[in-house]
Structure 1
Amino acid sequence: MKQMQMIEEFLFELRNQDIQLWLEGEQLHYSAPEGKLTPTLLAQLRERKEEVISFLHTAKQSVSQIKPIERNNSLPLSFAQQMMWFWHQLLPDNPLYNLLVSLQIEGLLNVTVLEQSLNEIIRRHENLRTCFPSVDGKPMQVISTVANINLSTVELPSSPEQTTQLKQLASTEAEKPFDLGQGPPLRVTLVRLSRETHILMLTMHHIIYDAWSIGILARELCTLYEAYSQGNPSPLSELPIQYADYAHWQRQKLTTEVLEKHLSYWRQKLAGASPISPLPTDRPRPQVQSFHGGLEKFQINQNLTQKLTQLSQESGATLFMTMLSAFFVLLYRYSGESDLIVGSGVANRNRVEIEPLIGMFTNVLALRSQCSDDSSFTEFLSQVKQTTQEAYKHQDLPFEKLVEELSPERNLS
């Protein structure tokens, strides 16, 4: 029997895949990374369109708004930013949290208009012109009033080595460290491959962006470039708040009472967990972490995807919950350990005001499961579903605060 997901669960699934929904009047709009909004999800979104619009209207009216704060006071970092800043102090020359985004631009390019568009985005989003100096041993946000990007241009003429040269340039850009205390952690390079082919490279430190932010930046850049190319003003509405307002609100909201409510759940959920991964490895761990990890990508064929989607719907679960359950089972088979914890990133954009902001909002949830040979997969999926739903209710607790509270055994490897 097919079970209908609660609207909150459905929206959580979309958010956690960086699929953005927003209202303009009564019109529902969406933006999604390539391949994320599957035909099945799109069909569900269309089917539940009125329900989604109603939910977003209600959320906007019922939730207390984040208010802008004065800029003449000290501006604290958010909890996520503070952890990024801490790691930067430990490893100042390590590009661990650098990200390079490459946008390919086809057709005749007006560089002046491109630069104008980038500068408008930087003006709109204070976070892109913020540095993070230490004041009396504590990091603070310092926002520059200057919104001009230094757009450097590189010519890579057509040649057999062009692709190799482009990869080398991208690698050099990505590995160049930022000084968080001196200037905004953002660099922009325009690479000209031919008269009608350019690559726009944006290098940012994770302290000012998350995956959701990339979609916002790309969308605003396209909108602004099109408008300015036609001699029109920016069609984008001014942002009601900025990231610094959110950071202040987050620290005010997470009072001792609220923190304790969330911590109580996570203490109980993670009690007795082993701090060391039980997975067998094909080589010994290094004494000190090298950060030279790997990334494995693969595609699931359409037939299997449809079956997984059907199983999810029949179980009243999201596709994420089903895939997470399968991953837990895989880890169980490899390790022989029944008690497992998987860290899962969530967009954490659960407020209307912060959806259009470029900034670091992502949080990590520690999802724990107990596998058993006596359970069927559907029974195990039910357990994972419950665990995930509970975790979503307590996602406001920054992972950094959880680590600070639990003080797990540290290992440099």
Structure 2
Amino acid sequence: MVSKTKMIPVSQIIQQAKQEEKQGKIKTAIATHQEALSLYPSSAWAYYYLGEIYIAQANLSAAIDCYQQAIKYNPTVPQHYIKLGEIYFKQRQLNQALDYFKKAISLYPNCAWCYQNLAEIYAQLHKWLEAVTCYRQALKINPQEVLKYHNSLTIEPDDPKLIKVTNPIFIVGCGHSGTSIMLAILSNHPQFYGITYESALFKQSEAEIRATMQQWDEQCIAAGKKRWIEKTPPHIFQIKKFLLHRPQSQFIIMLRDGRDVVCSLKHRAEYKSFETRVDRWIYENLAGLPYWDHPNVTVVKYEDLVSNPEKTLEKVLSFLGEEYIGEVFNYHQQPKHWYHSEIAKPTTIETQNDHHQLRNWQINQPLFDGRGRWQTEMSISEQQKFQTIAQKYLRLFEYDAT
């Protein structure tokens, strides 16, 4: 406790309380913070650190009161809004959480932690485009902060008694990098049950994710298969989360030359801007980069798949611990209506429907070579712009940058 007979600087009292907390003297630390507030009732930081103790004790209502008081006495500190955003997100009060993180960003525009949280909130609100835009922005600001966020996740593994497929497979990567064709090929393997739609599992709550995976387990076993395979490209932002749910999950990261990806994306309404297309390729691949050396992850280049398909699939199936069967390349012989009711190449690609029809046509064709389209489709000015923005990432992702 602090003597009232002599006014001690509030910072010194706060430091004393933090030391007491570190020593495990929680009640004493709370009393010291309260003493600080009796002496300095407008100390925003005393409220802030008292709120942290209440969070550690899972006393979230008391923590909320503290952070609201902190904002009252110092509304310019982004950390106060971040803490409230985190609490409301934990309580699944998503719109309140959204407002607090937006306020924090208005005070601290380069807050990668805020954008990462915003992405997760938008995902829970089923706002796909806003979510992936924020995931990319977080990585653009500070990839290490994003990794720190992932490492802070505390998700209990799914109950082993409820799991029937312990080692599911996720195909992830930047869109337009061969994820759909890889799913089509592997789904033709006798051991694998393909989830034939993009589930956007990342938009679900933890409880919903568990329930959906268990549902896929049931469908897989009922179909006489051993493992299920799911493909949603933005799940490249969720590798750590899915590993926490099912630690034996395996991931195939599809990778493609960014110049070809940029050309492939140009017909998408939400990617009319050249810079937006380049950003998508850079930051979605950066999301996967920390996991390249993870034992549960393999990286497959689209270029290797189309130029040497047998050897590439042998490596993929060896990684998955399954037998190579050449018949997987007969995937196109069985008509598929995964993305569209028609199996016909659209004459133009101007709408989302056209894009879905094109994807559906592609997975019903034999494997074809889509390499190097940028050489005829990119203007000289676009090639120069790509070189300025993304040449170093071509090298980082092990492509010839010349």
Q: Same fold (TM over 0.5)?
A: no
Q: TM-score, normalised by structure 1?
A: 0.21
* Higher CA-based Rg: 2
If asked which structure has higher relative contact order (CA below 8 Å, sep 6+), I would say: 1
